[in-house]
Structure 1
Amino acid sequence: MAKELTFKQGMKASLPTVLGYMGIGFAMGVVGKGVGLSVWAIGLMSILVYGGSSQFILCGLLSIHAPLLSIVLTVFLVNLRHFLMSLSVAQTFKNEGLFIRIGIGSLLTDESYGVVITEILRKQPVTASWMYGLNLTAYISWIIATILGALFGGFITDPAKYGLDFALVAMFLGLFLFQVEIPLKKQTKSTVQILVTILISLIVLMRISTAEIAVLGATLLGCLIGVMTHESE
C-alpha cells in the first residue's frame, strides 16, 4: 500500500509551478508598477487576489480608470472557473474539517489543480498536508515574484528578451502533458473525445461570448461528455 503524501512532498511537487510563477509573477510586478501601484500595493494585491490573469486584468482596468464595480465583477467572472475546479477535488478531502477544506479551496490555482489531479489519476493517497505543501509553496513564491518585479522591474526594459512572457505558457504545457499522460494510456478514445469537444466548443464560444464565459462553457461541455462516455463504458 502506498504511503500517504506529506507536506514536504507537496512542496517538491510545486517546484514546476514555482519556476513558472517566478517569471510571470515578475512580469506582473513590472506591469503593476507601470500603472502606478506601489510595491506595497502590488504585494497586498498578490496576497488578497492571488490570481495571475485577474491581477493583469485588474491592472489594465486601473490604467483606464474603470469604475470599482466593473473591476470587482470582472475579476469575479475571471476567477469563477475556480468554483468548478474546487468542486472536482472536493471529494478527495471530504473527511477533512471545514476550515482545512476552506484553506485548500482558497489557495487552489489552475497550476496546483493540474498537479493534484495528476496525483489523483495516478491513484496516489493525496492528503490535506500534501495539498497545503503544494498550495503554500506556490502562494509564497507568487507573492515574492510580484514584489521582486515591482522592485527591480525597471532595470529590465525588454522582458520578452529573457523569455518571461513565455514562462506561463511553458508551465501550462508541462502540467498539461503530465495530466493527460495517464488518461491517454488508459482511456484513449474517451479522452480524445473530451479534448476535441473542449477545443471545438472553446473556438465557437469565443466567437459569440467573452473569453471567461467561453472557458466555463467549454469546461462544462467537456465534463458532460466525460460523464456520458464514462456511463456508457
Structure 2
Amino acid sequence: MNGELSVKSAIKETLPTVFGYIGIGIAFGIIGHAAGISTLLVGLISIIIYAGSAQFITVSMLTAGAPVLSIIIATFLVNSRMILMSASLAPYFEKYSVLKNVQIGTLLTDESFALGMNKINHTNHQLSFEWFNTANIIVYLTWIVSSIIGAELGNLIGDPQTWGLDFAIIAMFWGLLYLQVLADRQFSFKLQVLVIITAIVLTYVGMIFLPKTLVIIVVTIVGCESGVLIKHAFF
C-alpha cells in the first residue's frame, strides 16, 4: 500500500482480496444451486443481502422452510457487527455528504473495512470517499458475478469443500491480518500479538458459551477493551 487515496490506488490495493471473494462467492453459488435455488435468485440474494455468512444462513433457512421474519432477524444478528465497523469509519468521512456516507456504509464488508484500517497506516490516518467507494464497488461486483458463476457451475461441481473453496475466506482474513500487523507502526509487535491471542481465546470461549450470532460482536467489544487494558498495563 502507498499514501495515495485515488481510484487507481484503490483498484491496485483491492485486487488481492478479490481472489478470496471469487472462491467463497463460487462456493455460495454452488451451495445455492444444490439447495434448489435458481441462478437468478442466487444473483438477487447476492445483490440485495450481500453478506457471505448471512447468505449461507438464508439459503439454509429457505431450504428448511423458515418464516421470512426469522430469516430477517437472523440476518440482522449475523451482520450486527457492521454497526461497530461503520461507527469506527464514520469520523473519517465527516466532511462528505450523508448520501456518500450511506453509500460507503451500504457496501461495507469485513474485508473492505480491514483494507481501510490498513490504508490509514500509510495515509496519516486519512481516508477518501473515492478510494473506499472504489474498493467497495470492486468487491461487490466480484461477489455478485462469482456467486452467479457458482450457481451455473453447480451442475459440474458437487461439494465445494472438496475443492477447498470453503477455506478461501479464512485464508483471505489471515492475509489481511498479516498485512495489518506489518503495516501498523503505532503499536509494538508484541502488543499486537498479545491482542491477537486474546481475541482468539475470547472467540474460543465465546463459541462455547454464546450463540454464534453474538460471538463476533461480543468478542469485538471485549477484545477492544482488553487491548486497551493490556496497552496501559504493560506498554
Q: Same fold (TM over 0.5)?
A: yes
SS in 2 for 1:14: helix
Cα distance, 1:158 vs. partner? 4.2
Matched residue, 1:202: 203
Aligned Cα RMSD in Å?
Answer: 2.0
SS in 1 for 2:191: helix
Q: Is the 8 A contact 1:120 1:126 kept in 2?
A: yes
The answer (yes or no) to whether the contact 1:184–1:191 under 8 Å persists in 2 is no
Matches within 5 A, 1:56-95: 56-95=56-95
1:162-191: CA deviations, max 9, x gaps?
332221121111111111223478423432
* Percent pairwise identity: 38
Contact 2:118 2:180 in 1 (8 A): yes
The answer to whether the Cα contact below 8 Å between 2:118 and 2:184 also exists between their aligned partners in 1 is: no
Alignment match, 2:101: 101
Structure 2 Cα separation of the partners of residues 45 and 142 of structure 1: 11
Distance 1:121 1:222, change over 3 A: farther
Which residue is equivalent to 1:44?
A: 44
State the one-letter code of the partner of 1:29. Answer: G
Deviates more, 1:156-165 or 1:194-203: 156-165
Q: Is the 8 A contact 2:30 2:160 kept in 1?
A: no
Which residue in 2 is equivalent to 1:146?
Answer: 147
Offset at residue 93 of structure 1 (A): 1.1
Unaligned runs of 5+ in 1: none
Inter-partner Cα distance in structure 1 for 2:69 and 2:38: 22
After TM superposition, the structure 1 = structure 2 runs for residues 158-169 of structure 1, keeping only pairs within 5 Å, are: 158-169=159-170
Q: Distance in 1 between matches of 2:51 and 2:160?
A: 20
Aligned mates of 1:26, 1:80 — CA distance in 2 = 25
Please report how far the alpha carbon of residue 113 of structure 1 lies from its aligned counterpart in structure 2 after TM superposition: 0.8
Find the aligned partners of 1:161 and 1:229 in 2 and give their Cα distance.
41
Aligned length: 232
Distance 1:193 1:160 in 2: 32
Corresponding residue number in structure 2 for 1:216: 217
- Native 8 Å contact 1:26 1:153 kept in 2: no
Letter in 1 for 2:137: L
Q: TM-score, normalised by structure 2?
A: 0.90
User: Following the alignment from structure 1 to structure 2, what is the Cα–Cα distance between the partners of residues 188 and 21?
Assistant: 29
Which whole-Å CA distance do the structure 2 matches of 1:213 and 1:184 have between them?
A: 31
- Is contact 1:198-1:222 (8 Å) kept? yes
Residue pair 2:32, 2:151 contacting (<8 A) in 1 also: yes
Indicate conservation of the 8 Å contact 2:4/2:123, yes or no: no
For residues 54-96 of structure 1, the C-alpha deviation after alignment (integer angstroms, 9 at most, x for no partner) is 1011111111111222111111100001111111111111111
TM superposition score normalised by structure 1: 0.91
Moved more, 47-56 or 87-96: 87-96
1:8 CA drift (Å): 2.2
Question: C-alpha offsets along residues 118-154 of structure 1, whole Å, 9 cap, x if unaligned?
Answer: 0112335421101111000000010000111111221
Pairing 1:127-146 to 2, within 5 Å after superposition: 127-146=128-147
Task: Give 3-state SS (helix, strand or coil) of 1:167's partner.
Answer: helix
